Amino acid sequence: MRSESSKGLAAGLLAYGTWGLFPLFFDALRPTGAWEILAHRIVWTLLLCLVVLLVMRDWRWVADLRGQWRLLAGVSIAAVLIAINWVVYVAAVTSGHTSDAALGYFLNPLVTVALGVIVLRERLRPLQWAAVGVGVVAGLYLSIAGGHFPATSLALAGSFALYGLAKKKVGAHLSALRGLTLETAILTPAAVVILGVVGMSGAGLDFGRHGPVHTALLCLAGVATAVPLLLFAAAARRIPLVTIGLIQFITPVIQLLCAVLVLGEHLPAHRWIGFGIVWAALILLSIDSVAALRTARTPQT
DSSP-derived secondary structure letter, 258: I
Each residue's pLDDT tens digit, 77-98: 999 999 999 999 999 999 999 9
Of all residues in the chain, the percent with pLDDT exceeding 70 is 96
- Which of the four pLDDT bands, split at 50, 70 and 90, describes residue 298? low
Each residue's pLDDT tens digit, 227-252: 998 888 788 777 776 677 778 888 99
> Are 121 and 71 within 8 A, CB to CB?
no
Q: What is the pLDDT of residue 2?
A: 57
Question: Is it the case that residue 300 has pLDDT exceeding 60?
Answer: no
Of all residues in the chain, the percent with pLDDT exceeding 90 is 47
Among 221, 120, 117, 101, CA closest to 159: 101
Question: Is it the case that residue 282 has pLDDT exceeding 70?
Answer: yes
Across the chain, mean pLDDT equals 87
The vertex-290 CA angle with 289 and 296, nearest 5°, equals 90
Q: What is the pLDDT of residue 171?
A: 61
Each residue's pLDDT tens digit, 16-74: 999 999 999 999 999 999 999 999 999 999 999 999 999 998 888 888 888 888 889 99
Q: What is the pLDDT of residue 241?
A: 64
Among 162, 148, 171, CA closest to 108: 162
Each residue's pLDDT tens digit, 135-154: 889 888 888 887 788 899 99
> Mean pLDDT over residues 193-200, rounded?
92
In order of 9, 62, 180, 220, 238, the CA distances from 244 in angstroms are: 8, 30, 20, 26, 10
Question: Is it the case that residue 116 has pLDDT exceeding 70?
Answer: yes
Kindly tell me the burial class for residue 33, based on how many C-beta atoms sit within 10 Å of its own C-beta (0-12, 13-18, 19 or more): buried
Prediction pTM value:
0.88
Question: Is it the case that residue 184 has pLDDT exceeding 70?
Answer: yes
Q: What is the pLDDT of residue 7?
A: 84
